[in-house]
Amino acid sequence: MEIGFIGLGAMGRAMAANLLSAGHRLRVWNRSPAPARELAEHGAEAAGTPAEAFRGDVVITMLADDAAYRAVGLAGPVLDQAPPGLIHLNMATVSVDLTRELASAHAERGLSYVAAPVFGRAEVAAAGKLNIVAAGPESALDRAAPLFEALGQRTWRLGSDPTQAAAAKIAGNFMIASAIETMAEATTLADRHGVAPETLLEVLTGSLFSAPVYKNYGAIIAGRKYQPPGFRLALGLKDVRLALAAGEGARVPLPFASVLRDGFLEAIAHGDGDLDWAALAEVARRRAGAAAG
C-alpha cells in the first residue's frame, strides 16, 4: 500500500521500518528532519510537509500528545487537502476529547478515522509484537488489517467509534501505572520488614502475578535501574492526566489515578521526569524516609 507516516520518534521509526520491510511504500514526515532522512536511506520518501504525507491509501500518525496533533494541523488544515476516502490510523495515545474531535473532523471531509493505539515499548514495536486496540469504521479496519499484522502480534477490534479504542488504551495505561505504584508500595513495605524487593517480587511474579507488566517493571524497581527509560516518567504523568480527563468527561471518580498523579508530580519535582516511569517507586521509598540511592 501507499502509506503516509507522520511522527518518527522511537516508536514511529520502528513501526515505519517494519512497514517498509513488509513491502509498503512510505512517505514519511517528522518535525525534525533527521529520522525522515534516515528512513529515506531505507527506501522511504521524505515528505516536505505534513500535508504531503497526508496522501495515498492510508496515513499512520504517531505523535507525542494532543498538543502535537494540534500543532501539526491534524485537527484542521492538513485534512482539507487530503484525498477523499483516505484512511487515517492514529496509533498514538491521545485524549478521548481529541479523538472525538478528530473523528468528526475527518467524517465531515469524507475521510476515515481509526484510533488504533498500541501497547508496547520501542523494542516491542521493532519486533512487530505490539498489541493494538482499534476502533473505527468497519471497512477501514478491514483495509488496515494487513498493516496491523505487520506491526503487531495481535489486534483487538473494539467497535466503530474511535473513542472506544482511545478509552481502552487510556484505561490500560492507567492499569500499568497502578501496577507500578502497587509494587512501589508493596516492596517498600516488605523491605522495611526484612524482605528484599527482588524476593517479594520473585514470589509474586512466580505465582499470582505472573504477567509481563509485573515481571518487567518489577525487575526495574527491584534493581532501581531507571535508565535508559523505556517510557519516560513525564509521559506517565501525561497518561494519568488523560485518564483523569476521560474520567471527568464521563463523571467517573478515579482515586487511584489521583494518587498516581500526585506521585508522578512529586517525582518530577525531584528531577526524575526523564527516568523510566517505574521511578515512581523512588517516591514511595523517599516518603518512607529512605535515603536516595
Site for a copy of itself in 73-102 (CB under 8 A): 96
- Site for a copy of itself, residues 196 to 215, rule: CB under 8 A: 199-200, 202-204, 206-214
Among 34, 250, 292, 293, binds a copy of itself (CB under 8 A): 250
Among 28, 167, 280, 281, binds a copy of itself (CB under 8 A): 167
Rounded to 10 degrees, what is the CA torsion of 145, 148, 150, 152?
-140
- 258 contributes a contact to a copy of itself by CB under 8 A: yes
- 176 contributes a contact to a copy of itself by CB under 8 A: yes
Smallest gap from residue 185 Cβ to a copy of itself (A):
5
Among 117, 136, 172, 230, binds a copy of itself (CB under 8 A): 172
Task: From 15-23, 77-85, 103-111, 267-275, give the range in contact with a copy of itself by CB under 8 A.
Answer: 267-275
Tell me, letter by letter, the H, E, C secondary structure of 237-289: HHHHHHHHHHHHHCCCCCHHHHHHHHHHHHHHHCCCCCCEHHHHHHHHHHHCC
254: left (phi over 0), alpha (psi -120 to 50) or beta: beta
Here the cell at position 168 is 481502552
| Orientation of helix 255-269 relative to helix 280-287, angle to 10° | 90
Catalytic site residue 238? no
Smallest gap from residue 127 Cβ to a copy of itself (A):
14
Phi and psi at residue 86, to the nearest 5°: -60, 145
Q: Do the bridges between strand 58-61 and strand 2-6 make them parallel or antiparallel, or are there none, so unpaired? A: parallel
Here the cell at position 95 is 485524549
- 255 contributes a contact to a copy of itself by CB under 8 A: yes
Residue 162: cis peptide before it, omega within 30 degrees of 0: no
Cα–Cα distance, 248 to 257 (Å, whole number): 12
Among 108, 193, 228, 293, binds a copy of itself (CB under 8 A): 193
Task: From 13-21, 47-55, 109-117, 237-245, give the range in contact with a copy of itself by CB under 8 A.
Answer: 237-245
Size of the site for a copy of itself (CB under 8 A): 79
In this structure, the number of other CB atoms found within 10 A of the CB of residue 41 comes to 7
Residue 74 or 179: which CB sits closer to a copy of itself? 179
Cα–Cα distance, 134 to 137 (Å, whole number): 10
Residue 271 or 293: which CB sits closer to a copy of itself? 271
Among 75, 122, 150, 190, binds a copy of itself (CB under 8 A): 190
Among 84, 253, 292, 293, binds a copy of itself (CB under 8 A): 253
Please give the positions annotated as active site: 169
